[in-house]
Amino acid sequence: MKIGELARRCGMTAHTIRYYERIGLLPYAHRDGGQQREYDASILVWIEFLDRLKTTGMPIRDMLRYAKLRGTGDATNRERRLLLEEHRAAVAARITSLRESLSALDAKIAGYGEAERRLSSHAPSNPSETGRPLRARTARAR
């Protein structure tokens, strides 16, 4: 498939695909007679995995390290596993931190909601119902 179709199918721009190829995240594509890139559909699985690594916050330098190890073959399986385990631990720590932050936000939102309910249940719906005229409070001298 041509680069445009690959971009459409994987959700990346052609520019990103060329960049990934240039820095070594993607293998160089075969060229057809007109020197246009020609990709095999099997590259979609690798691009999807790269996108997952990117989504989980793996730095490009680690993605490049992983890609280089992958290109070397099965002899690097242990190194790749260790790299992914290390990244997984970092992702799990971020998820824990995000859950704690989400709980803090939920508590703050609930507090505001409770305060709004208290204020609305104690405040008269029409200020003139208090029987007192509305006026501004005068400032006291200090």
Residue 32 has what pLDDT? Answer: 85
Q: Note the pLDDT of residue 61.
A: 97
pLDDT at residue 122, as a whole number: 76
Spans of the chain below 50 pLDDT: none
Q: Where are the domains of the chain?
A: 1-55, 59-121
Contact indicator for 72, 63 with CB cutoff of 8 Å: no
pLDDT value for 121:
84
In this prediction, residue 30 carries a pLDDT of 86
Residue 141 has what pLDDT?
Answer: 66
Question: In this predicted structure, what is the pLDDT of residue 28?
Answer: 86
Instruction: Write down the pLDDT at residue 33.
Output: 85
Give tens-digit pLDDT for 52-80.
999 999 999 999 999 999 999 999 999 99
DSSP states of the chain = --HHHHHHHHT--HHHHHHHHHHTSSPPPEE-TTS-EE--TTHHHHHHHHHHHHHTT--HHHHHHHHHHHHH-GGGHHHHHHHHHHHHHHHHHHHHHHHHHHHHHHHHHHHHHHHHHHHHHHS-SSGGGGSS---PPPPPP-
Q: Considering the chain, what percentage of its residues have pLDDT values greater than 90?
A: 73
What pTM does this model have? 0.72
What pLDDT is attached to residue 23? 95
Report the topology of domain 1-55: Multidrug-efflux Transporter Regulator; Chain: A; Domain 2 (1.10.1660)
